[in-house]
Amino acid sequence: MDRSLAVLINSLGVGGAERQVSYLCPELVARGWRVRVHTLLPAATFAEPLRASGVEVEVAGPGRVGTARAIAHFGKTLRRERPTFLVSFLHHADIVARAFGKAAGVPVVLTSERASGPRGAIRAGIRKATRWLDDGVVSNSRCSRDALLASGVARRGHAWTVWNAIDLSRFDVEVDRASVRASLGATPDTVLWLAVGNIYWAKNYPLMVSAFADMADSHPEAMLRIAGRQQEDVDALLSIRPDLWRAGRMAMLGPRSDVPELLAAADGVVMSSDQEGLPNALQEALAARRPVVATAVGGVVEIVPSEAGRLVPRRSKEALTAALADVSEMSREARTAMGEHGRAAVEARFSLQAIVDDWEALLAERYADWEARRARR
Give the CA distances from residue 18 to residues 164, 305, 330, in Å, rounded to whole numbers and listed in that order: 11, 25, 35
Provide the pLDDT for residue 119.
Answer: 65
Burial bucket for residue 19 (CB in 10 Å: 0-12, 13-18, 19+): buried
Residue 73 has pLDDT above 80, yes or no: yes
Q: Is the pLDDT of residue 85 over 60?
A: yes
Residue 9 has pLDDT above 90, yes or no: yes
Mean pLDDT within 179-201: 96
Geometric angle at alpha carbon 251, from 273 and 326, rounded to 5°: 55
Q: What is the separation of C-alpha 156 from the centre of its chain, rounded to a whole number of angstroms? A: 25
Classify domain 4-165+351-376 at the CATH class level: alpha beta
pLDDT at 118: 58
pLDDT at position 257 is 87
Nearest to 313 by CA among 295, 293, 292, 298: 295
Q: Which of 23-27, 79-83, 190-194, 199-203 is predicted with the least confidence, judged by mean pLDDT? A: 199-203
∠ at Cα 26 (20, 30), nearest 5°?
140
What mean pLDDT do residues 225-254 have?
94
Q: Where are the domains of the chain?
A: 4-165+351-376, 168-349
pLDDT class of 15 with cuts at 50, 70, 90: confident
290-308 pLDDT tens trace: 999 999 998 999 999 999 9
Confirm whether pTM is higher than 0.95.
no
The tens digit of pLDDT for each residue in 243-265 reads 999 999 999 999 998 999 999 99
Q: How many CB atoms lie within 10 A of CB 336?
A: 14
Of the candidates 157, 102, 160, 107, the residue with the CA atom closest to the CA atom of residue 130: 102
Helices (H), 111-258: 120-130, 142-151, 177-183, 205-216, 235-238, 242-246
Domains 4-165+351-376 and 168-349 share a fold: yes
User: Residue 45 pLDDT more than 90?
Assistant: yes
Q: Are 160 and 135 in contact (CB under 8 A)?
A: no
Work out the percent of the chain whose per-residue pLDDT is above 90: 88
Tell whether the model's pLDDT for residue 377 goes beyond 90.
no
For residues 66 and 191, give the distance between their C-alpha atoms in angstroms, rounded to a whole number.
Answer: 45
Q: How many C-beta neighbours within 10 Å does residue 229 have?
A: 15
pLDDT in tens, 117-154: 556 789 889 999 999 999 999 999 998 899 899 989 99
Which pLDDT belongs to residue 375?
92
Residues 6+ apart with CB under 8 A from 310: 291, 292, 293, 294, 323, 326, 327
- Arch. (CATH architecture) of 168-349: 3-Layer(aba) Sandwich (3.40)
Average of pLDDT values for 190-217? 96
Q: With 80 as the cut, is the pLDDT of residue 89 above it?
A: yes
Q: How confident is the model at residue 181 (pLDDT cuts 50, 70, 90)?
A: very high
How high is the pLDDT of residue 371?
A: 96
